[in-house]
Amino acid sequence: MGSCTWSSTAEGCIGSCRRLSVALLLGLLVACSDPVDNGPPPGGLELVGNFSNPVYLTAPPGDSARIFIVEQEGRILVRHNDTTLARPFLDIRGRITFGGEQGLLSLAFDPQFATTRRFYVYFVRSGDLRIVRYSAAASDPDSADEASADTVLKVAHPGQDNHNGGQLQFGPDGKLWIGTGDGGGGGDPDGNGQDKHALLGKLLRLDVSGASGYTIPADNPFASDTSARPEIWAYGLRNPWRFSFDRQTGDLYIADVGQGAWEEVNVAPAPQRGQGANYGWNTMEGTHCYPSGPCTNPGQLPFVEYPHSGGACSISGGYVYRGSAIPSLAGHYLYADFCNGNVWSFAYPNAGVVDRSAELRPGDGVSAFGEDARGELYILQLGGSVYKIVPNP
């Protein structure tokens, strides 16, 4: 894309840069669209249970009997055939830093977990972001072998306790993807988002198939480029608290928490999935110049954005629905706002944003969405409740 000057509104962006590609223009138009009525509600919420600060929910590949709930204070609980087991799968309370945005933040199972028994957790300890590999106990698949802990990656996060990122996800490529925050503080004062020598404010991609540690995938965009860290897949992110892959198409969705005015969802279609992309922070907040316009070199603009109005404050990203229980939700990416509890969805690349706050409204404090092995989705509230999205009776 050619160089252009951007005003501080989406309308100004369209008017002042005439070299936008058709795809980018389409994304910008969707970002500016209002929610639309999508007819009768496709489903409702069924309470799964109450937990302590739940922030993530997932399941091992192919395991339709269990879901695993991550509690921010440092526990992972197992729910087996609708019963929550009394003993945690993993309990690392006391070995992490918990409070505010810090704690145990997510969990990812090895794609071959059934045979390798390996899984990965993301937590904060003494100001560092840590990715640690564990193995499930050989004698008990519902219990982790805590002695197997092996630190894969440690990223220094000094000075601030917020903007830690927190997502781990194995991609369709079998690599481990990691979302890191910009290091905290208003406006990215350390400039980490645009600093390609820093691992903060990035999407990282690692090969963890070896016995320990990690290697750099050969197709990482900076694998042989000394101008950037080779772990980096994409940069210019503020706090990608949650990202996910569409299990059918392989497209990548990144929900990046905004500074003070705009929240955004970036879509990176397969197979490139935004390889080497600059998502704009801290030059841009959504499609808007930060802190004010005009600005140059905005980077990749989001597909969807929404403002801090109506009590909105922070996006909690989700998943594209690929379950079988609610066919009318198929292909829709669901996301919510932490503060007002509104839930929206859209179907990439050309469906408008749908307001689902009436049909799927657990209340405020939505910390995350979860996905089980069947592709059914869940909504988690930091206050404790975990809900499954179910069909209407």
Q: What is the pLDDT of residues 241-288, one digit of tens each?
A: 999 999 999 999 999 999 999 999 999 999 999 999 999 999 999 999
Kindly report whether the global pTM for this prediction surpasses the value 0.85: yes
Q: What is the pLDDT of residues 205-214, one digit of tens each?
A: 999 999 999 9
19: pLDDT strictly greater than 50 = no
CATH of the domain at 69: 2.120.10.30
362: pLDDT strictly greater than 80 = yes
Taking alpha carbons only, the member of 6, 54, 68 closest to residue 366 is 54
Phi, psi (5° rounding) for residue 329?
-90, -5
Instruction: Specify the range with the lowest mean pLDDT, choosing from 10-19, 98-107, 190-199.
Output: 10-19
Q: How many CB atoms lie within 10 A of CB 358?
A: 10
Sign, CA torsion 387/36/338/253: positive
Distances (CA, A) of 353 to 211, 347, 356: 44, 8, 9
pLDDT of res. 30: 39
Cβ-Cβ contacts under 8 Å for 332 (sequence gap 6 or more): 320, 321, 345, 346, 347, 351, 354
25: pLDDT strictly greater than 60 = no
3-state DSSP call for residue 164?
Answer: coil
Quote the mean pLDDT of the chain: 89
pLDDT of res. 43: 73
Instruction: Specify the range with the lowest mean pLDDT, choosing from 7-16, 109-118, 217-226.
Output: 7-16
Instruction: Specify the range with the lowest mean pLDDT, choosing from 15-29, 187-201, 252-266, 370-384.
Output: 15-29
* Structure confidence at residue 26 as a pLDDT band (50, 70, 90): very low
Q: What is the pLDDT of residues 43-78, one digit of tens each?
A: 789 999 999 999 999 999 999 999 999 999 999 999
Sign, CA torsion 319/325/328/331: positive
pLDDT of res. 42: 63
pLDDT of res. 67: 98
Taking alpha carbons only, the member of 275, 301, 278 closest to residue 289 is 301
Q: What is the pLDDT of residues 142-180, one digit of tens each?
A: 999 999 999 999 999 988 999 999 999 999 999 999 999
Percent of the chain scoring above 70 in pLDDT = 89
Judge contact between 192 and 129, C-beta under 8 A. Answer: no
Distances (CA, A) of 280 to 23, 237, 240, 256, 336: 17, 7, 13, 11, 22
pLDDT of res. 159: 87
pLDDT of res. 41: 54
pLDDT of res. 137: 96
Higher pLDDT, 357 or 218: 218
Taking alpha carbons only, the member of 225, 271, 228, 226 closest to residue 252 is 271
Query: What is the number of domains present in the chain?
Result: 1
Q: Which range of residues forms the domain containing residue 305?
A: 5-391
Judge contact between 167 and 243, C-beta under 8 A. Answer: yes
Q: What is the pLDDT of residues 326-344, one digit of tens each?
A: 999 999 999 999 999 999 9
* Structure confidence at residue 295 as a pLDDT band (50, 70, 90): confident
